[in-house]
Amino acid sequence: MLLAYLADYSQYVPIVADWIFDEWGQEMPGSTLESIKALFSLHLNRDRIPLTMLALVEWQPVGTASIFLHDMDTRMDLTPWLAAVYVLPQFRGQGIGSQLVRAIEGVATRLQLGRLYLFTPDRADFYARLGWLVLETAEYRQHSNVIMTKSFMEAA
């Protein structure tokens, strides 16, 4: 498996957009497949937010994870966010999601972001195993979600 920036494989923007729209589009008011494609077309960065990473197996994308400036419009005070973590169902349970999260954490460290946030209705245990801490629970998009955080600042 190869972890790479979407910026280096921009031909996969439509595939990533399809995944995200299929998985979460119904929960994103006003979103369309085209608007999600447009969003991820802005993620073709390596050194600034927004950015997206891909997991590739035999040069085909099997998963993705991103850093968004904002992901929860009710918590604009929190920034930036780990978001859009997705692995194709047939590749789940192989550690790819964990590797994508770790890759994003590495980017956060390199970019000196200090801290990331995420929200999840049902994967808090997964992120807790990776060292993320619960910040709070919040209703969002008609779901009870856990907001989590992880610091990337070195101890003084």
Question: Once rounded to an integer, what is the mean pLDDT over residues 21-43?
Answer: 92
Q: How far apart are CA 8 and CA 99, in angstroms?
A: 18
Q: How far apart are the first and last CA of the chain?
A: 35
Residues 43, 50 contacting (CB under 8 angstroms): yes
Task: Evaluate if residue 114 carries a pLDDT over 60.
Answer: yes
Distances, alpha carbon 58 to alpha carbons 3, 35, 48, 132, 134, in Å:
12, 29, 27, 30, 36
Residue range 121-132: average pLDDT? 96
Q: What are phi and psi of 140, to 5 degrees?
A: -155, 130
Compute the distance between CA of residue 17 and CA of residue 68 in angstroms, rounded to an integer.
14
Side-by-side strand order, sheet with 2-5: 2-5, 51-57, 60-68, 81-87, 115-120, 143-151, 133-140
Q: CA–CA separation, 107 vs 77, rounded Å?
A: 21
Written as six digits, the tokens of 37 are 């494609």
> Does the reported pTM lie above 0.95?
no
| H helix intervals, the chain | 13-24, 33-41, 96-110, 124-129
* Structural element, H or E, at residue 131: none
Task: Please determine, for residue 141, whether its predicted confidence score (pLDDT) is greater than 50.
Answer: yes
What percent of the chain has a predicted confidence (pLDDT) above 90? 89
Percent of the chain with pLDDT over 70: 98
Residue 49 has pLDDT above 90, yes or no: yes
All domains of the chain in start order, with CATH = 2-113 (3.40.630.30)
Report the C-alpha gap between 96 and 3 in whole angstroms. 9
pLDDT digits (tens, 9 = 90+) for 51-83: 999 999 999 999 999 999 999 999 999 999 999
pLDDT reported for residue 153? 74
- Looking at residues 115-121, what average pLDDT do you find? 97
The tokens describing 2, both together, are: 């190869």
The pLDDT-based confidence of 155 (bands split at 50, 70, 90) is very low
